Structure 1
Amino acid sequence: MNTVYIALGSNINPRSAYLNQAIDNLRLSEHIFVISYSPIYETEPVGYLEQENFLNMVIEIETSLEPLDLLNYCKGIEKKIGRKRGVRWGPRVIDLDILLYNQENIRTEQLIVPHPRMHERAFVLIPLKDVNPSLNIPSLNKSVASVLDEVTTQEKKGVYKWYPSNGENE
């Protein structure tokens, strides 16, 4: 089995329902087992700023799927839930990004692992640290916790634990 960390994000309502649908769809595969997941964080957009805040989280899975097969399965989930590709870093119903696949460095036309920008993004590192703070990022040969320490305070300010308002899911 392969140990994989996947980042999930959504900023089109109902955001948390889309995160849950993605996890449920991952669980439908006989080749994927969800091991653990982080709390959900509300985060300010990065890149394209004229959009709503995101809900982000990270999950750990075990899978027998090879990296590109897992990528295709994740893209299928995005399509099934209703993602339409548009503005880069723009609004999205759901986004699933493979962050780490075992301790492998993978570089193909379709997939780069470790995710090439994960070390810059507090909205990825904070939930990843919740799941496994001592996890090594092979391209940097540093733990998630030590990489997060290097992220600016300003970047971390835009990441907050999310709690449903009035006990309702959003």
Structure 2
Amino acid sequence: ILLYGDAGVRDDDLVIPHPAMMERHFVMVPLAEIAPDARHPVLGKAIGELAEDVDVAGLEYVEGPEWASGAWERTL
């Protein structure tokens, strides 16, 4: 669980917002695509703004399979 509205939870089994979400490109970019204006309840910044700050050094884009891009639909 990354976020739950503007709630913050901290107990032995669960921490919301997820403490490492801002370090993970694979989390922040899709989250920013669906909720760019949502606010991080602790930092108070927009998710879209936080996603721009994620370190992408060392990441490599890997082209997905043809079915994932919708290319197969053009053959129907």
TM band (smaller chain): 0.7 to 0.9
Q: 5+ residue gaps in structure 2?
A: none
In 1, Cα distance between equivalents of 2:42 and 2:60: 25
Q: 5+ residue gaps in structure 1?
A: 1-97
Query: Relative contact order (alpha carbons < 8 A, sep ≥ 6): 1 or 2 greater?
Result: 1
Contact 1:123 1:159 (C-alpha < 8 Å) held by counterparts = no
5 Å matches for 1:40-79? none
**Aligned residue among 37, 41, 44 for 1:141:** 44
Rg comparison, structure with higher value: 2
Q: 1:149, CA displacement in angstroms?
A: 1.4
Contact 1:122 1:159 (C-alpha < 8 Å) held by counterparts = no
- Per-residue Cα deviation, 1:22-76 (whole angstroms, up to 9, x for no partner): xxxxxxxxxxxxxxxxxxxxxxxxxxxxxxxxxxxxxxxxxxxxxxxxxxxxxxx
In 2, Cα distance between equivalents of 1:139 and 1:121: 17
* 3-state SS of 2:43 partner: coil
Who is 2:18 aligned against?
115
- RMSD over equivalenced CA pairs, Å: 2.3
Matched, 1:126 2:29: yes
5 Å matches for 1:86-105? 98-105=1-8
TM-score by length of 1: 0.36
TM-score by length of 2: 0.74
Identify, as 1 or 2, the structure richer in strand: 1
Q: 1:158, CA displacement in angstroms?
A: 4.0
Contact 2:25 2:56 (C-alpha < 8 Å) held by counterparts = no
- Structure 1 residues 145 and 124: CA distance shift in structure 2, 3 A: same
Q: How many residues align?
A: 69
